[in-house]
Amino acid sequence: MQVTDAASGGLVHVIDRDSRRRAEVSRELLALGVHAEIYEDAGEFLRMLPTRGAVLMVESDEGTLPEFMGRLRARQRYYPVSLYAEAPSPDRVVRAMREGAMDYLAWPFEPGLFQDTLRRLSEEGDRQRRIERARADARGRVEQLTGRERDVLVALLDGNSNKQIAALLDLSPRTVEIYRKNVMRKFDAKSTSEAVRIGIYADLWEAPPG
């Protein structure tokens, strides 16, 4: 999943059909030192699919956010998202937060709340970007492994001992130990737990169904 840059001091994508309100939001962002890109609707944004920034989107219709977030996930993209609307009801705000919005602002924006939202978008973007960098690094390290080394790592992620891995892969325990050492060397890992963490970040392990 590609993660965008954060909001504060950077870039915010404003999605709003109302051109006058869209311009006012952009001016407020500019006054805070944030560049704004504008879109008439979510479809236009999804066609452009920018590589960085956060999203500030008006919620004018029910069901806008789930469809938008679903289409982003399908394209392996992540953007911190905040919604806004005129006098949103409490249940509408709660629903939006459950559906993935980081915040929900009432329009016109209260300056202090608006700045708090931009800060949260920025912090979440930073956090997600660090996670994605770790995932990309882990995937790169896993690509260095041979097929057998990868098999041993996957078996290790399932909590198997060397003896169990040997039985599972029809290898000798000594051969399994050699493969494990190779994995540790290629990962530059100081401990088994570090190697396991890299494997998890590379999406080699899936939790069993609950």
Domain harbouring 175, CATH code: 1.10.10.10
Cβ contact 53:59 at 8 Å: no
pLDDT-derived band of residue 209, with 50, 70 and 90 as boundaries? Answer: very low
pLDDT for position 124? 83
How much is the pLDDT for 63? 58
Q: Are 125 and 37 part of one and the same domain?
A: yes
Residue 208 maps to a domain: no
Where do the DSSP E strands lie in the chain?
2-3, 11-15, 35-39, 54-58, 77-78, 81-86, 103-107
Question: For the segment 56-82, what is each residue's pLDDT rounded down to a tens digit?
Answer: 999 976 557 889 998 988 887 889 999
Assigned domain for 7 exists: yes
Q: Under DSSP, is residue 83 helix (H, G, I), strand (E, B) or coil?
A: strand
Assess if residue 139 is contained within a domain: no
**Helix H or strand E segment including 95:** helix 90-98
- pTM for the full predicted model: 0.69
Of the three residues 108, 132, 156, the one that is the final residue of a domain is 132
CB-neighbour burial class of residue 25 (10 A; exposed 0-12, middle 13-18, buried 19+): buried
- The distance from CA 160 to its chain's CA centroid, rounded to whole angstroms, is 30
**62 against 155, higher pLDDT:** 155
Q: Which domain holds residue 20?
A: 2-132
Residue type, position 91, single letter? D
**How confident is the model over 91-144, as pLDDT tens digits?**
999 999 988 899 999 999 999 999 999 999 988 878 877 887 888 899 999 999
**pLDDT tens-digit readout, 158-182:** 999 999 999 999 999 999 999 999 9
- Write the pLDDT tens digit of every residue in 3-22: 444 444 579 999 999 999 99
| Same structural domain, 36 and 103 | yes
